[in-house]
Chain A
Amino acid sequence: MNWRVTLLILFCSVGVLLPARAFCFDTNIAHPSIAELAAREFDRAIKDVQLSVEDINCIKKGASEEDVPTRWYNHFYDPVYNRGIWFGAQYPTTISWVTGPILQIKYSLGDQSWQRALDYYQKGDRKNAMVALGHAIHLLSDMAVPAHTRNDIHPAGDSLEQYVKDNWKKISPNLEYSFQNISDLNSAFYNLAKYSNGNFYSDDTIESKYYQIISTKNGNRLVSNGHKYIIKVDNINRLVFAIEDIAWQDNNSVTVNLNAILFSYSTRLVSAAISNSAGLIDLFFREAAKNEKQNLSALKINLDGVVNTVWGYLVTGAEKLFGSSPSDFTANILRQVDTTMTTLGQTAQGQGAGEINSATPPLPPVVAYGGNDSSFATAIPSSNPIAIPTTRVVPDIIKEPILLPTTTPPVATSSTVIVPYYGGGGSSASLPSSGGGWDEQGNVSTTTTSTVSVLAMPVLDEQFKEVIYTTSSDWLITGTCSSDTVKIIVDASSSPIAEFFIASSSLFEYEPVLNSGHNYFYFVAVDIDGVTSTQSLPAHLVLDNDSPPVPSVVVSNDVGSTELSINLSSIDELSPLTYFDLFYRLDINSSSAWQEIAINTTTTEFSLSGERGSGYYFRARARDGLGNTSAWSDETASSTLSYIDWSKEIVINEVAWAGAAGYADDEWLELYNNTNEDIILATTSASSSWRVTVGDRTIKWSKINNGVIPAHGYYLLERTDDDSVQEITGDIIYTLQYGFNNAGEKIALFNPQGEKVDEVDCSSSSGWFAGDDSSFRSMERNGADQRGSDASNWHSSLGLRMLGRNHSAYLNASPRQPNYGFIVLRGNQAAETYVLNPSNNPYILGGYTVPVGKKLIIEEGVVVKNAYYSSAFKINGDLEINGSGARPVILTSGYDQSFDQSSYNTIVGTWSTSTAFAGDWQGIQFYAGSTGNISNLEMRYAGHLFRPPGAGTWTPYVSQPIRADEAVLSISNSVFSNNLGTMIYVKNTTTTVRSATMKGGERGFESYKSAVDISDSSFSDFINSPDACCRGAILIADILPKFSNLSFSNNTVDRAYIDSTVLSQPEYTITKEMADKSIFSYIFVSPSSTLYIDPGAEIKMTSQSSWDINGVLTARGEAENPISFSPFYDDQKWNQLSFDGSSSTLRYVNLEKGNSRPTSQPGGGDNGMILAKDSNLEMMNVNLLNPRRPLYTVQGNNSTISMTNCEIKDDEKYYNQYIPTFGVKMIGGELNLDSVSIQNIYGGLLGNSGATLHLYNMSGDSFVNVDKLIDWPGWIGFDLPI
């Protein structure tokens, strides 16, 4: 291959691999327009060089392209702090960017730097030179945007930029610009940036504490468009920002986002941008004319251009051959970008950036600065503000006197540590003006140039620009101030603490009073007129004479490792660094010397290699950077005694050293395999078998039933024969001389190589770590990966298990079963209080009884599975279930396999079905005197049939997951699902139910003679038997309940059935909600009770039901919310409201379809929808409609009945010649009617000789379609008085 072929391949490869540059990002108006106007202004002012149309178009093209991502990250320059934008990382300033060819070649469009533009021009490539010049003009124009010079990133768009874009036609005629002579590039950028920074605010930096505050006059009230604005204007009446004064606002808003202000800003700033850009073009041609060689890389884009061609082409080609297609790859990237546009922007040093929308540009990675470009190197962001360009000519438009800081040494001599800190500097500024103001009519006018003087802020000496850590309180803070300063005010935080006068020098000093901890001092200069400067950056001194906290020492040893890991921590809030000393010694010799591990180190993590079976103590102390040293950590603390343990592939996991009750020789031993591999533990060959020693004796295998211990499995060794543990076949039958000594033994396990693998040393005087020879509990290991000779790693057996007996008696042990969990709950509770906790999950429930005076507590997260159908908790004492929302207590079937943890899904018990079913177990039964506090319970699959307390021979079995007789029961936040029968059945039990969810079964709740309060609960999917007496998801009898916020769905009847209740409380109220959620049967209101019915209550009555009111009934309906009584089923009728000895009131009540039991007694007996005996009954606005006929709607017996604005009406008139039918019948007593209407009835009013009738506002017209209006002794007619 010759060189021509190679070149051709390279050329083609570049064409393939370089990204397309045809994309035109910036189509907005402002930048190209500014560039064009600048070019034309240049042509106007400079006659010896003229730009062609093509030149101008190229400049506009460059000005448009410069905003191409991700170039715009470099378009920020804060001249006060000499920094670019902070947007997740610090980006270079615009000056660095425009003069940084090395930096630019890494970005889109490559190198378009100032140097590149000159280089193009010098090489005769005028077209590209003009494009690159356009890029520079764009960058200079951005310096006229306050957001770009006040470190205010604006991901949602800067208002000023958007305003200029949208209002160019309005702005352009008002621009006043003129060619601005520029001496050098740095000055051009710096001065324009300083102008926009110092005279204008961006959206989020109005009166920011980080920048000079623009001096403003008191608020001016201006009228525009009918609104009175309060606009802050500067000293020459240019609009600065607007402020609210609203009475109901806590903090009145400020804004620049008003058309008038943005217009004022834009005309001044765009004019400045054009003037300076015209000067920039002139500068370009002047520098180009020098024909100086530009020190540029040969590449304009990147080394990629060459290397990628050779290497990348091959790789991409290979990807095409073997990998995914590039188009898929690109699409995938774009999808990822779509989903990650959520990063928030960030402004400098906590300035309010305002909230940014959810879609905000993602942060690019930090740019690594580098390269050999000198101009770039000088512009690397500094932590110190005010880095002045090396050469600078102040143009007419901007004058910026700079006050340089001077340095004086600190006076303190004691221990001091100084660490870098952002420093402060200041300047006095003479802010220029070139724009217009806003008059009372809101019109912008041009003003002549003027100057606003601002007093420079004090500048602290160099060493106070860093945080000073010191043990001395004797300090002198020194600095410089403007010569105009007459007084310095010292602030700590925002409160002045001192002030002193400056004589003739511009130096000042202040002796602070230091408190322990952080001390901040700010300095404000004041001149003779009382004008104050902005606050200086603080002097930050940390007075620290306190030792760091004693370090905590945490030591750990990974299973199998011979190394100890030591971790130290001690947090000294006042010191940036903490140093440690760390020592160790062996535990076997308390007098052994401490050995050094590390001295004076900032490292906090160490490791120490040692020998297996050995223990080590550690101690450490901490020291801060000032030498304050803590005490040693407690070397005797158990946490610092750490062992390098045996390898523990297999461990001794359980020891039944006491044997079993009555059979002390029935000892056994259990091993556990910690590894993921099955291990051959016993063979007929001694050399390949593992070995267990007890003291100095070795256990001898007499029979090997199984030689392999499975991975993470158990291995049972039984002594003498296989009867030590019945129901489980031992893996090995062994013999041991003398057996286990009840005073303690040392047991060790060796692998076939003779290496000790585990050891349990109980040979000391304290004996066995756990277990006993009274109840014959075994000794169980807590953690198989923890040390065997640590007494705290063992416990006595937690209880009986389902498997494992000795001579038919259950073992108090867990042979070949986990040491936790599967504990059987059966028989009577022995302990006064017994607590079930989740570490033993799941528990197995047999028949468990809590006797009187004893308490069972079930902690959150506990799971109990039942073993038999008759499994139940029988509570005679107290039951407390303390579940939580996140970790409920679950009581469920032994077949329930719905758990995430596999061990919980173990099937418990023997079942006739292959899955869990409702009725797999009985439930919880509370007996007389017991209490139950149940919170966050999930009860599943309960409801197995049982005989209730006091059941006789013929008493049927019942299905009641929770049953309570004469108990006190409180249930909250609990769920009952997949159960049978009645979820909660209570009798003579005070019961509270809150936030329960009951689903499925026959009934959710049933109570008799119980005070019941149910709220915030739901009942669904309860199906009542067709022959059930009382259908409803709830059945309440005897005592009226309290309901609130109940919901019913998908039940046979979506209501509660209130059956035969007696009201004996002084007061009771049937609320509208209760009425809406209930069906009512018989209610008896006792003489001492008052029953209120709330407005709007729609009371549905069961067939033939009556309410007997011997107390007081107050039905307090309203015109808009009347009360109603009607049958629940439309084809049935309820009976009556019967008042006896009552004094009651009915207001706005509709009674319909009552009087279900017309009597055959002479005279009508107790007939009537309203029956009043010896009562005083007042009815107002009561409608009595369509009672069952014949006989009466209302009947009074020796009662006073007063009816006002009432209606008695039948839809169809009933007539029977033998049985009278009247609206009202009175036997004795008094009937007062006022404006009562009677319609479609045979007779209106019927009274006997003892009864009195008073009519008010009534006439014959009050009786409509009535045959016999009034049948009353002495009644003559309406025409005559009675």
Chain B
Amino acid sequence: MTKKVWFWGTVVVGIIVLFLLFLISIGWFTQKQERVQMGLANPKFPYRNYNQAELNKMYPQYIDYSGVADKQTPEQTHALFLAALKKGDFDAAVNCCFREGDRAKQKEFLNGVKEKGMLDLMISDITKIDPDFKSENKATYIFDGTSKSGEKNAGFMTFVKVSDGIWYIESL
């Protein structure tokens, strides 16, 4: 093989290799961008795939606070709520016992109960609660509420646990 043939053969092979590399690059990049779009790879070059631990942390199916110690149990929240209601301190009642986003609405509700002259009845009704359903993040407690006809019916006080271990009242 002459030097000329060897030279041109090398050039042709080199071009083919470069072309293949180019195709591979396009394919690699396209695939990576698809994973990035799906949230399965880091959006920065070289678009590293997230490992399973990272995915678990980023996309948990549901929030699990079972590993978070209770800082304020539903019973403690209930006791704080009751104490504040008895003092007529609605600010304290909502601040201790409801998530921040619920507080204004709940205070308005409590004011409404007071305006209707039913605050004492409400306090009396919810003084005693019994647990019914409880999971890692949610709980339902039962109290004997006074119905419009004066009978006693089961009312639900539901609690939800948040990330710092506090059980807040979700609904009353």
B28 contacts A355, C-beta separation under 8 Å: no
Report which of A73, A227, A247, A355 forms a contact with B59, defined as CB distance below 8 A: A73
Q: Which residues in chain B, 101-148, are within 8 Å of chain A measured between CB atoms?
A: 101-102, 109, 112-113, 116, 118-119, 121-122, 125, 130, 132-133, 135-138, 140, 142, 144-148
> CB-CB contacts of A350-368 with B at 8 A, as 1s and 0s?
0000110111111011111
Q: Give every chain A residue within 8 A of B148 (Cβ-Cβ).
A: 245, 247
Interface residue? A608 (CB, 8 A): no
A307 contacts B31, C-beta separation under 8 Å: yes
Interface residue? B64 (CB, 8 A): yes
Report which of A259, A319, A326, A368 forms a contact with B37, defined as CB distance below 8 A: A368
Interface residue? B81 (CB, 8 A): no
Choose the segment among A93-101, A124-132, A149-157, A911-919 that binds chain B (4+ C-beta atoms closer than 8 Å).
A149-157
Docked Cα-Cα span, A398 to B34, in Å, equals 39
Return the chain B residue nearest A362 by Cβ. B58
A163 contacts B133, C-beta separation under 8 Å: yes
Q: Give every chain B residue within 8 A of A330 (Cβ-Cβ).
A: 51, 54
Q: Give every chain A residue within 8 A of B51 (Cβ-Cβ).
A: 19-20, 330
Q: Give every chain A residue within 8 A of B36 (Cβ-Cβ).
A: 365
Docked Cα-Cα span, A661 to B162, in Å, equals 77
Docked Cα-Cα span, A361 to B59, in Å, equals 5
CB of B139 to closest CB in A, whole Å? 8
> CB-CB contacts of B129-172 with A at 8 A, as 1s and 0s?
01011011110101011111011111110101011000000111
Return the chain B residue nearest A226 by Cβ. B130
Q: Give every chain B residue within 8 A of A835 (Cβ-Cβ).
A: none
Choose the segment among A64-72, A818-826, A1232-1240 that binds chain B (4+ C-beta atoms closer than 8 Å).
A64-72
Docked Cα-Cα span, A34 to B132, in Å, equals 26
Choose the segment among A7-15, A310-318, A1141-1149 that binds chain B (4+ C-beta atoms closer than 8 Å).
A310-318
B171 contacts A253, C-beta separation under 8 Å: yes
B163 contacts A248, C-beta separation under 8 Å: no
With known contacts A330-B51, A361-B63, A311–B135 Cβ distance under 8 A: no
Q: How large is the interface on B (under 10, 10 to 19, 20 to 34, 35 or more residues)?
A: 35 or more
Docked Cα-Cα span, A368 to B40, in Å, equals 13
With known contacts A162-B138, A166-B135, A304-B35, A248–B121 Cβ distance under 8 A: yes
Q: Give every chain A residue within 8 A of B6 (Cβ-Cβ).
A: none
With known contacts A247-B121, A355-B99, A355-B102, A108–B40 Cβ distance under 8 A: yes
Report which of A69, A245, A357 forms a contact with B147, defined as CB distance below 8 A: A245
Report which of B28, B52, B112, B133 forms a contact with A262, defined as CB distance below 8 A: B133
Q: Give every chain A residue within 8 A of B52 (Cβ-Cβ).
A: 19-21, 23, 25, 68-69, 108
Q: Give every chain B residue within 8 A of A107 (Cβ-Cβ).
A: 38, 40
B156 contacts A70, C-beta separation under 8 Å: no
Return the chain B residue nearest A221 by Cβ. B153
Interface residue? A106 (CB, 8 A): yes
Interface residue? A229 (CB, 8 A): yes
Q: Give every chain B residue within 8 A of A18 (Cβ-Cβ).
A: 49
Interface residue? A333 (CB, 8 A): yes
Interface residue? A1212 (CB, 8 A): no
A69 contacts B61, C-beta separation under 8 Å: yes
Q: Give every chain B residue within 8 A of A25 (Cβ-Cβ).
A: 52, 56
Q: Give every chain B residue within 8 A of A307 (Cβ-Cβ).
A: 24, 27-28, 31
B55 contacts A257, C-beta separation under 8 Å: no
Q: Which residues in chain B, 61-120, are within 8 Å of chain A measured between CB atoms?
A: 61-64, 99, 101-102, 109, 112-113, 116, 118-119
Interface residue? A413 (CB, 8 A): no
Q: Give every chain B residue within 8 A of A337 (Cβ-Cβ).
A: 54, 57-58
With known contacts A19-B49, A312-B28, A334-B57, A157–B62 Cβ distance under 8 A: yes
Docked Cα-Cα span, A307 to B39, in Å, equals 19
> CB-CB contacts of B40-51 with A at 8 A, as 1s and 0s?
101001101111
Report which of B25, B40, B142 forms a contact with A227, defined as CB distance below 8 A: B142
Return the chain B residue nearest A162 by Cβ. B135
Return the chain A residue nearest B150 by Cβ. A247
With known contacts A247-B147, A358-B162, A19–B50 Cβ distance under 8 A: yes
A316 contacts B46, C-beta separation under 8 Å: yes
Q: Which residues in chain A, 358-414, are within 8 Å of chain B measured between CB atoms?
A: 358-362, 364-368
Docked Cα-Cα span, A250 to B115, in Å, equals 12
Docked Cα-Cα span, A213 to B84, in Å, equals 39
Interface residue? B1 (CB, 8 A): no
B130 contacts A248, C-beta separation under 8 Å: no
Q: Give every chain B residue within 8 A of A355 (Cβ-Cβ).
A: 99, 101-102, 170
Interface residue? A242 (CB, 8 A): yes
> CB-CB contacts of A309-351 with B at 8 A, as 1s and 0s?
0111001100100000010011001100110000000000000
Report which of A69, A255, A362 forms a contact with B140, defined as CB distance below 8 A: A255
Interface residue? B53 (CB, 8 A): yes
Q: Give every chain B residue within 8 A of A242 (Cβ-Cβ).
A: 154, 156
Docked Cα-Cα span, A355 to B106, in Å, equals 14
With known contacts A246-B125, A303-B31, A304-B31, A156–B156 Cβ distance under 8 A: no
B59 contacts A70, C-beta separation under 8 Å: yes
Interface residue? A1198 (CB, 8 A): no
Report which of A23, A302, A304, A358 forms a contact with B56, defined as CB distance below 8 A: A23
B38 contacts A106, C-beta separation under 8 Å: yes
Return the chain B residue nearest A18 by Cβ. B49
A247 contacts B163, C-beta separation under 8 Å: no
A257 contacts B158, C-beta separation under 8 Å: yes
CB of B55 to closest CB in A, whole Å? 4
Interface residue? A495 (CB, 8 A): no
17 extra A-B contacts, CB within 8 A, seeds A23-B53, A68-B56: A106-B35, A108-B52, A156-B137, A157-B62, A159-B135, A162-B136, A166-B135, A228-B144, A230-B153, A245-B153, A246-B125, A248-B119, A249-B145, A249-B155, A302-B31, A361-B63, A364-B38
Interface residues of B (CB under 8 A from A): 24-25, 27-28, 31-32, 34-40, 42, 45-46, 48-64, 99, 101-102, 109, 112-113, 116, 118-119, 121-122, 125, 130, 132-133, 135-138, 140, 142, 144-148, 150-156, 158, 160, 162-163, 170-172
Can you list 26 A-B pairs, Cβ within 8 angstroms, ordered by A?
Answer: A19-B50, A69-B56, A106-B34, A108-B55, A156-B62, A156-B137, A157-B138, A159-B135, A159-B138, A225-B132, A228-B151, A228-B152, A244-B156, A246-B147, A248-B118, A248-B119, A248-B145, A248-B146, A253-B171, A255-B156, A257-B140, A259-B133, A304-B35, A307-B27, A319-B46, A333-B42
In order of increasing CB-CB distance, the 4 nearest A-B pairs are A364-B39, A162-B135, A69-B59, A246-B145
